[in-house]
Amino acid sequence: MNKTIAFVGLMILVLLGYIFNFDKVMSSIFINSTTDLRGGYSNSITILKDNFNSYFNQVETLQNLNSLHNKNANYKVLYEKAQNELNELKRDMQIMDGNFSHDTLYTKAVSYLNLNDFSKIILDKKLPATKLYPLITPQGFSAGIVRVYNNISIGYLNTNPKSNYAVFIGDTNSPGITSGADENGYIIIQHIPKWYQIKVNDEVVTSGMDEIFPYGIKVGRVVGFKDQLYTKTAIVKPYAFVTSKRYFYIITQTNTK
């Protein structure tokens, strides 16, 4: 009896469900709820994906910006270096304009011959290895001599002991030979005959007696001297401290009048 009543009740419920479209309502509720879940999941995945891509795009952008910054910094250094060299070159060209009647060749120091010796420089001009050449500053002061070895032009600056050329000192034209420099960068003039009178502030110029320098290139002024057994030695403050220079002129030929 109980089973019969339960069966009849179940049938009544099924009949009512069909009558009132109960199954469609439940189906609609289920579909709507699952659609919302699917939509939320899809939106979450999209947001996460966008954030992920945005993060890595920002990292890549920062890396690119950092690389560009480093390149620009390097370009700035190179530009400033080139600009400084150009300004120095223009200044030197203005100084040299019309100063000399001798044939000159503009040259640049490209490196030291030895890293531990600042008195010998390699120059960028090639010259015949037939003689020694005078080296002068753009201001027209003596700087040293140029020797050519294995097709390389080497500048022996006034501070080098092998930078030897003949000079006259003062009004008496006391002869002497340059012989490097002391610890202060002052040029040492040796082999001055003892009977010549020299005094502080005497001007020193090239004598032209060595067939290296022409006559009259200014060297510096006497700041001190001392007597040797048979000769005198003079200490000369140069007009140009050449170890700090990069640009020079080589006198390739002396024009006599």
CATH number listed for the domain at residues 102-257 = 2.40.10.350
pLDDT at position 1: 55
pLDDT at 95: 46
DSSP code for 141: B
Torsion of CA 110, 114, 120, 121, to 10 degrees: -10
pLDDT number for residue 228: 87
For residue 97, what pLDDT is reported? 46
Cα gap 105→251, rounded to integer Å: 6
Domain residues of the chain, as ranges?
Answer: 1-97, 102-257
Tell me which H or E stretch contains 203: strand 203-206
Q: How far is CA 253 from CA 160, 214, 228, 250, in A?
A: 23, 9, 36, 9
- Identify whether the C-beta of residue 251 lies closer than 8 Å to the C-beta of residue 102: yes
DSSP symbol at 195:
T
What CA–CA distance (Å, rounded) separates 102 from 255? Answer: 5
- Residuewise pLDDT in 10s, the chain (257 residues): 555 665 556 566 555 555 545 455 455 554 455 555 555 555 666 666 666 566 666 767 777 777 766 766 665 655 565 555 555 555 554 444 445 567 889 999 999 999 889 999 999 999 998 899 999 999 999 999 999 999 999 999 999 999 999 999 999 999 999 999 999 999 999 999 999 999 999 999 999 999 899 999 999 999 999 998 889 999 999 999 999 889 999 998 776 54
CA 180, 248, 149, 115: dihedral to nearest 10 degrees?
Answer: 70
Q: CA quadruple 82, 83, 84, 87: dihedral positive or negative?
A: positive
**pLDDT confidence of residue 115:** 87
CB 204 within 8 A of CB 165: no
Prediction pTM value: 0.63
Angle at 193 between CA 210 and CA 224, to 5 degrees: 95
φ, ψ for residue 222, nearest 5 deg = -70, 130
